[in-house]
């Protein structure tokens, strides 16, 4: 591990000042410390933000939610308001990592977590994300777990977060604070596709701190849930996953929010699936037809040719679980 | 183990060598540096002195005071030291094991302020004032913790390497109340791998201790 100085920020100002000077924020440390040990990350200065007042879960407007950046995954998942208003968020969180990690890791850190691509984690391998211009060992290497959507010739790594898939589906907003003040970034614009600059992963500017993730109030009644498919039953990243939220009234689907995980370089919103559902009546046939669009545009690699079909079935099953059948 | 230590233990790290504390935030005020604060936000050049970073050979270290199994320790450590290494290498508490050193096995599980965490991914320098409980701290007055006893009664281990992590994690799991069914125990204990495959018996041991607590 590269040596670093450590300081705990007593308030937002201290944190922002240190961040602006190039200090690296550390929240739960479960991504950062791990990658520092692998020397993938080599910050000179760690800024401990764990004392900052970003720990609240607040209900906003008519059933929206604002989750503070430092709310731990375990706390967010167990929060009564989260469980009632957006089960898809609790479920995505409780299907993530382990109880121990969820006791440490935060919501802000979670959406900032870096890919689990083994070539990214191996400093001797070519990786454009870690070392721009060095190439992508995954493109023609072992790429079973890699992305089929949003990839480029420069990078095919997935974004590994589960709750980010729920945030993408629900069209969340990321609240950030920086030297120039406060900004709100639509979740769809927050995580960046690799393109030719896979080393740029988020829309954050220098020194900016995430303060919260806000979920807008969606029409109610709203049913929602998260399905995760993986190589083992627990404590494993997704091969595919689906976050689904449906507002059905008068027997007709009025709103459909659907996104997929484990398949994209960023959490993958599925507007074609959503469009297919709106204005229709729930039925097994509808779920199957809508899910046919889940892998539109997919570009499988050598070892993940199973993912498009698995993705469609994952989405279909989760549509049925959330939307029921006649 | 821990009872043999003096109540106020002053320990210094052996490797890497002690280094001066560099809490760069201390005694630094933002206002003095001409930072304009607008609506609680910072504008203009920040004044915090973080450029003190990593220059000389001695790796940056810090002094931290924490309580481990009821005993207060003040240690000077390299900032890179994990809680797991602090326990094992500096405090002679080798019950917590290092399996993967990457958050992926649970062998290093300890309680920090009552919550189960992976000590391998916890930087010790962040634990000022924290209360840590390790496997060595579970027995009270020569009595094994009910979950330790249950592990023996259920024969819930073979090689034993994962066991201390399993037991501490199980204590956390029971406290959290995630023991409503075998399936729930399995899911909420999934952060602890057992290469010997003792899962069924581990499940039973946690179930037994949880039932004992209720009864
Ligand atoms: C074995 C293992 C299994 C896992 N399985 C899963 C899984 O199944 N699903 C899943 O979703 N995740 C999984 N994870 C990842 C885990 O959820 C993340 O590591 C965690 O959420 C990161 O949060 P943290 O608070 O620990 O972040 P940190 O490690 O503290 O920080 C991560 C990054 O975010 C930055 N950062 C943190 N907070 C802020 C902020 N407020 N503003 C700006 N920048 C910030 C840091 O500078 C750093 O770059 C797993 C991790 C491990 C080790
Ligand atoms: S050693 Fe900490 S989780 Fe494996
Ligand atoms: S008893 Fe051997 S690893 Fe669990």
Kindly determine whether residue B126 and residue A16, on different chains, have CB atoms separated by under 8 Å: no
Same domain, B129 and B145: no
Looking at the fold, whether B145 and B208 belong to one and the same domain comes out as yes
| Cα–ligand 3 centroid distance for B107 (angstroms) | 10
CA angle B84, B87, B92 (to 5 degrees): 140
Residue B98 placed within a domain = yes
Distance in Å, CA A283 to ligand 1 centroid: 38
Of B134, B161, B195, the position where a domain reaches its end is B134
Distance between A93 CA and the closest CA of chain B, angstroms = 13
Domain containing B191 equals 138-215
Q: What is the pLDDT of residue A326?
A: 61
Q: Does residue B114 sit within a domain?
A: yes
What total of structural domains would you count in chain A? Answer: 2
Query: Do residue B146 and residue B109 come from a single domain?
Result: no
CATH code of A2's domain: 3.30.43.10
Same domain, B124 and B86: yes
Angle (nearest 5°) at CA A30 between A24 and A33: 55
- Residue B214 and residue B158 in one domain: yes
What average pLDDT does the segment A194-198 reach?
98
- Does B183 touch chain A if contact means CB atoms closer than 8 Å? no
Pair B116, B166 in one domain: no
CATH number of the domain bearing residue B152: 1.10.150.120
Within an 8 Å CB–CB cutoff, is residue A13 touching chain B? yes
ipTM over 0.95: yes
Residue B83 belongs to domain with CATH number: 3.10.20.30
pLDDT at A61: 87
One domain for residues A105 and A246: yes
What is the model's pLDDT at position A288? Answer: 98
A202: how many CB neighbours lie within 10 A of its CB? Answer: 17
Ligand 1 in reach of A31 Cβ (< 6 A): yes
| Domain termination residue (choose one: B134, B157, B173) | B134
B54-105 pLDDT per residue, tens: 455 789 999 999 999 999 999 999 999 999 999 999 999 999 999 999 999 9
Question: What is the residue range of A13's domain?
Answer: 1-50
In a domain, B173, yes or no: yes
Tell me, yes or no, whether B129 lies in a domain: yes
pLDDT at A314: 98
Whether A111 and A160 map to the same domain: the answer is: yes
Interface test with B, best of A1, A4, A5 (most B CBs within 10 A): A5
Does B117 share its domain with B152?
no
Minimum-distance CB partner of B187 among A13, A48, A234: A234
Distance CA B123, CA A48 (A): 11
Q: How many domains does the structure of chain B reveal?
A: 2
Q: Which residue, of B83, B110, B134, is where some domain finishes?
A: B134
Q: Are residues A2 and A94 located together in one domain of the fold? A: no
Confidence of residue B108 (pLDDT cuts 50, 70, 90): very high
b or e along A285-314 (b: 16 or more beta carbons within 10 Å of the residue's beta carbon)? ebbeebbebbbeebebbeebeebbebbbbb
Q: How far is the C-alpha of A123 from the C-alpha of A112, rounded, in Å?
A: 20
pTM comes to 0.91
- Residues B208, B206: Cα–Cα separation, whole Å: 5
Please, where are the H alpha helices in A144-262? Answer: 163-169, 187-190
| Cross-strand bridge partners of residue A255 | A247
Same domain? For A237 and A157 the reply is yes
């Amino acid at each position: 591990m590269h040596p670093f100085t450590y300081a705990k920020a007593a308030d937002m100002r201290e944190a922002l000042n240190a961040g602006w000077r190039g200090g690296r924020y550390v929240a739960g440390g479960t991504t950062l410390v791990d990658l520092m040990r692998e020397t993938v990350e080599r910050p000179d200065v760690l800024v401990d933000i764990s004392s900052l007042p970003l720990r609240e879960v607040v209900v906003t407007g008519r059933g929206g939610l604002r989750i503070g950046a430092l709310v731990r995954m375990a706390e967010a998942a167990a929060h009564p308001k989260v469980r009632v208003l957006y089960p898809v968020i609790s479920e995505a969180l409780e299907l993530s990592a382990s109880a121990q990690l969820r006791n440490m890791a935060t919501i802000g850190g979670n959406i900032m977590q870096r890919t689990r691509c083994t070539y990214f984690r191996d400093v001797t391998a070519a990786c454009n994300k870690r070392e721009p211009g060095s190439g992508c060992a995954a493109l023609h290497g072992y790429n079973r777990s890699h992305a089929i959507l949003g990839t480029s010739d420069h990078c095919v790594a997935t974004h590994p977060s589960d709750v980010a898939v729920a945030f993408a589906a629900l069209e969340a907003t990321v609240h950030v604070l920086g030297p120039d003040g406060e900004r709100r970034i639509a979740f769809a614009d927050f995580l960046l596709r690799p393109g030719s600059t896979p080393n740029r992963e988020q829309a954050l500017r220098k020194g900016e701190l995430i303060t919260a993730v806000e979920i807008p109030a969606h029409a109610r009644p709203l049913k929602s849930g998260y399905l995760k498919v993986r190589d083992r039953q627990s404590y494993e990243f997704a091969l595919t996953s689906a976050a689904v939220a449906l507002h059905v009234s008068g027997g007709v689907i009025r709103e459909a929010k659907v996104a997929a995980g484990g398949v994209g370089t960023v959490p993958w919103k599925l507007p074609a699936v959503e469009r297919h559902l709106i204005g229709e009546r729930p039925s097994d046939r509808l779920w199957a037809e809508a899910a046919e669009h889940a892998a539109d545009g997919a570009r499988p690699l050598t070892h993940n040719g199973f993912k498009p079909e698995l993705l469609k079935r994952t989405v279909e099953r989760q549509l049925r679980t959330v939307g029921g059948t006649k | 183990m821990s009872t043999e230590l003096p109540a106020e233990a002053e320990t210094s790290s052996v490797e890497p060598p002690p280094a001066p504390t560099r809490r760069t935030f201390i005694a630094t005020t933002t206002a003095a540096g001409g930072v304009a604060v607008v609506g609680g936000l910072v504008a203009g050049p920040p004044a915090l002195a973080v450029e003190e970073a990593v220059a000389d050979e001695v790796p940056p270290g810090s002094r931290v005071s924490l309580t481990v199994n009821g005993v207060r320790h003040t240690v000077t450590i390299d900032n890179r030291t994990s809680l797991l290494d602090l326990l094992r290498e500096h405090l002679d508490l080798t019950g917590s094991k290092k399996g993967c050193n990457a958050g992926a096995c649970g062998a290093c599980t300890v309680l920090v302020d009552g919550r189960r965490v992976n000590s391998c991914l916890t930087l010790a320098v962040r634990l000022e004032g924290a209360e840590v409980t390790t496997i060595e701290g579970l027995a009270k007055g020569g009595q094994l913790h009910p979950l330790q006893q249950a592990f023996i009664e259920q024969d819930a281990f073979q090689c034993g390497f994962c066991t201390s992590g399993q037991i501490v994690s199980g204590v956390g799991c029971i406290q959290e109340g995630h023991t409503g069914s075998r399936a729930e125990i399995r899911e909420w204990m999934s952060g602890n791998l057992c290469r010997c495959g003792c899962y069924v018996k581990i499940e039973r041991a946690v179930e037994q201790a949880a039932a004992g607590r209720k009864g």
